[in-house]
Structure 1
Amino acid sequence: MSVTVTVETGASISGANSYIDSAQADAILALEPLDLCAWKSLDADTKARFIIAATLWLDDHVTWSGKSKSTTQALGWPRKNARDRERRPVADNIVPSQVRRATALIANYLLSNDDADQAGIRRFRSDTFEIEYQQGWYKSPCPSWLKFVLFGLGSPGNELGSKKIVH
Structure 2
Amino acid sequence: MPLTIGTNTYVSLADADDILSFKLHSGGWKSTSEQDRERALIEATAAIDRLGFNGSIARYDQPLGWPRLRMRDREGRSIDPNVVPQVVRTATCEMALHLLTAPELKPSPAVSRKRVGDLEIQYRATLPDPVPLSVRQLLAPFLAGSPYSVELIP
TM over 0.5: yes
Partner of 1:59: 49
Q: CA deviation at 1:87?
A: 1.5
Amino acid paired to 2:35: D
**TM-score, normalised on structure 2?**
0.76
Equivalent residue of 1:87, what SS?
coil
Partner of 1:5: 3
Q: CA deviation at 1:97?
A: 0.4
Amino acid paired to 1:21: S
Partner of 1:130: none
Written as runs of structure 1 = structure 2, the 5 A alignment for 1:13-162 is 16-34=7-25, 36-60=26-50, 62-115=51-104, 121-122=109-110, 135=123, 139-155=128-144
Count of residues in Structure 1 that have an aligned counterpart in Structure 2: 137
Amino acid paired to 2:47: W
Q: 1: CA distance between counterparts of 2:136 and 2:75?
A: 15
Q: Is the 8 A contact 2:53 2:143 kept in 1?
A: yes
Distance 1:45 1:91, change over 3 A: same
Q: CA deviation at 1:117?
A: 8.5
Q: CA deviation at 1:7?
A: 0.6
Q: CA deviation at 1:159?
A: 5.4
> Where in structure 2 are there 5+ consecutive unaligned residues?
112-121, 148-154
**TM-score, normalised on structure 1?**
0.71
Amino acid paired to 2:49: D
Q: 2: CA distance between counterparts of 1:89 and 1:102?
A: 19
> Where in structure 1 are there 5+ consecutive unaligned residues?
9-15, 124-133, 161-167
Q: Give the share of equivalent positions with the same residue, in percent.
A: 31
Q: CA deviation at 1:147?
A: 2.2
RMSD (Å) for aligned C-alpha atoms: 2.7
Name the larger-Rg structure. Answer: 2
